Amino acid sequence: MKFNSLRQGLALCVLGTLVSMCVLKSDSYKVYVGTYTGKDSEGIYAFGFDKQTGKLTSDVKLVAKTENPSFLSLHPAKSLLYAVNETGTFNEKPTGAVSAFRLNEKDGSLDLINQVASRGKAPCHLEVDATGGSVLVANYTSGTVSVLPIEENGGLGTTADVVQHLGSSVNTQRQEGPHAHCINLDGHNRFAVAADLGVDKVFVYPFDAERNRFDVFKASSVSLRPGAGPRHFAFHPNNRFGYVINELNNTVTAFKWDSKRGKLEELHSLSTLPEGFEGGNSTAELFIHPSGQFLYGSNRGHHSIVVYQVDKESGRLSYVENESTQGETPRSFGIDPS
């Protein structure tokens, strides 16, 4: 079984240190890579992708100059791309930003439509809802989640809603306060799930796509083991299970998901590391195969992708293998849409 489970699910593996990735689904694939711009990088880059060989072309192009576009998301129906600007100051105010781009499908170039405040410092994750009417954002440093409406031209309106997380946890260096690290919508577009590394909780918010708002009065949460540090979340394609990768204790936790009530129930947790590994490590990205058969997570330190098989009836995970990323510090990866 060596290699097979990974190759079935990951034609596009890790691109390198400190990147985010999304793929334009067309005959001529373009891979868009977000970066941190503190050193040599200038913004968002694009690669060609050969879906037959799984290789990236060498014609790397800068397609948008923008500050710290560390996470990207495509619109579900239109040629639009959205990027966080993971900063602490925007227009002289204590907040990061989100940028909206129009995508030219002929050459893959990006044209900036507008840029708006994210209503929190260091936005690190975003997702476009299934209707294409909202961008949901997780702001790491401030510990907030927010909703930005998408306007007719693809640009972003001012923030429609923002929720502040509260609390802390046992790791005094990383969990001195709330740190929202992701926000994801369930398969019915009715609930938003936000993993907060700083308080060891996964929050669930009913989401009204027509009003671009969360219903905080009907929100719920589930607590992880103290010091776990939940980072990224993924729903199973059947909308019956969910999974979170925990950055600080190197585990993945599986949940049952009640899509009617919006409730998570923990099943179990598994290590992301092979037996015997004693080096330093932190986890990062999490993706589930579209078939629902495999779940993948990245290890920064062990420099690997962990592969689990998913039981389709129970949602429980079983360890398959760790595969080297052939590079260091895999922050993000993506699954080839073919």
What are the domain boundaries of the chain? Answer: 4-324
CA quadruple 109, 115, 119, 121: dihedral positive or negative? positive
Global confidence as pTM:
0.93
4-324 CATH fold: Methylamine Dehydrogenase; Chain H (2.130.10)
Q: Residue 25 has what pLDDT?
A: 59
Q: Tell me the pLDDT tens digit for each residue of 25-77.
A: 555 578 899 999 988 999 999 988 887 777 887 788 999 999 999 999 999 99
pLDDT < 50: residue spans in the chain: 1-19
Q: Residue 11 has what pLDDT?
A: 38
CB atoms inside a 10 Å sphere around CB 65:
12
Q: Residue 27 has what pLDDT?
A: 54
| Tally of CA atoms within 13 A in the half-sphere of 129 that contains its CB | 26
Find, among 221, 230, 208, the residue nearest to 264 by Cα. 221
Amino acid at 138: A
Which residue is associated with the tokens 């299970």?
A: 241
Cα–Cα separations (whole angstroms), residue 192 to 2, 85, 183, 231, 279 = 36, 21, 6, 15, 35
